[in-house]
Amino acid sequence: EATALLDPCGRAEVLAALAAARILGLTFCATYHTAIPQYAGILTGEPQVEEYAWRYIRWFYNQADIIFSPSQAVTRELVDRGVAVEKIKIMPRGVDVDRFHPRFRRENINLPEGPRLLYVGRVSREKNLPLLVRAFKKARHQLRAHLVVVGDGPYLGRMKAELSEDEATFTHFLRGDALSSVYASCDLFVFPSATDTFGNVVLEAQASGLPVLVSDQGGPRENLLPGETGMVVPANDETAFAEAMVAMLSDQGRLRQMADKASEYAKTRSYARAFDDYWRMYPDGRGLEVELPEVEKEIGKMLAAPSRMVSGMITGR
């Protein structure tokens, strides 16, 4: 018995893999973790392009025997767009609670004093960063906060031009201890995207001891406890984001409570927990009846970043 596991994001060869799966009689599984239609619409400014992309998504995923979705929000969207609901399973994903932890906080880190807001991710328009800039500037009228932006992307130059050195620090891409330290040394994580299908950075922030602020659209809102580890505000509402920033940073007692709760909550979303859940939902529905502790961490990393999966990977048992 064998399974063909496909990551179709932007790869033409998956069509050949689809044909091979049909010829060989393999179970065909596909993951969905990038909002390609929405990105196409945002980046081109053409609603028709987004609609064409949805037509392809609907056709391709309905060819699959099993579809792994990253969140309930994405599942609802796929079903609304005509993808067969009975084929969809939520794919468990987790966070490395050893790599992201409050112990990495550094008091002498090279960042300005005062409240620090943090964004980590691709620096691009589809992440709703123009809204973040406007909301942050509104919040700055009431508190002297500093925005830290970790990542690179096509909007970086424009964002730097809109924010002064006094307002923001741009670290570019970070990894390892440097990334862990920046996470843990900030005070509030802000993620305004309305198109992310999961938002692993939201879990990384909470594991690092940061309350989070996210929009009410997409997968990130499913990765926190609203009112306990962070807040959810209406998408595309810069005033709501600004007011939430001010409210959260102005109440240091509540912020500390949220920070403590956030790091505890992240432990329930660890790699190990995600690995166990994923193992039990293996495509034949029975799970695997062996334990592989030596590969648990590596597979957990794969679950946290499914875009790294190899297209057309064939696995057999």
| Structure-token pair, residue 300 | 């957990």
Q: What pTM, to 2 d.p., does this model score?
A: 0.83
- Select the more confidently predicted residue: 245 or 309: 245
CA pseudo-torsion sign 109, 176, 308, 68 = negative
Tell me, what's the pLDDT at 284?
52
pLDDT digits (tens, 9 = 90+) for 142-152: 998 999 999 99
258 Cβ neighbours under 8 A, 6+ residues apart: 211, 228, 229, 230, 248
> Model confidence over 240-292: pLDDT tens digits?
999 999 999 999 999 999 999 999 999 999 988 888 887 777 655 444 333 44
Two structure tokens written together for 122: 């691709």
The domains located in the chain, with CATH, are: 2-94+270-316 (3.40.50), 102-267 (3.40.50.2000)
Least confident of 29-38, 216-225, 301-310: 301-310
Q: Is the pLDDT of residue 159 over 90?
A: yes
pLDDT band at 3 (very low <50, low <70, confident <90, very high): low
Average pLDDT across the chain, whole number:
86
Evaluate if residue 293 carries a pLDDT over 50: no
What confidence category does residue 129 fall into, taking pLDDT thresholds of 50, 70 and 90? very high
Query: Residue 12 — pLDDT band, cuts 50, 70, 90?
Result: low
pLDDT score at 282: 63
The answer on pLDDT for 13 being more than 80 is: no
Higher per-residue confidence, 97 vs 107? 97
Between the alpha carbon of residue 20 and those of residues 28, 36, 278, the distances in Å are 10, 25, 25
Q: What digits encode the pLDDT tens for the residues 190-234?
A: 999 999 999 999 999 999 999 999 999 999 999 999 999 999 999
Alpha-carbon distance of 151 to 158, in angstroms, equals: 14
Q: Name which of 52, 63, 48, 6 is nearest 31 in CA terms.
A: 6
What is the C-alpha separation between 160 and 169, in angstroms, rounded? 9
pLDDT value at residue 7: 52
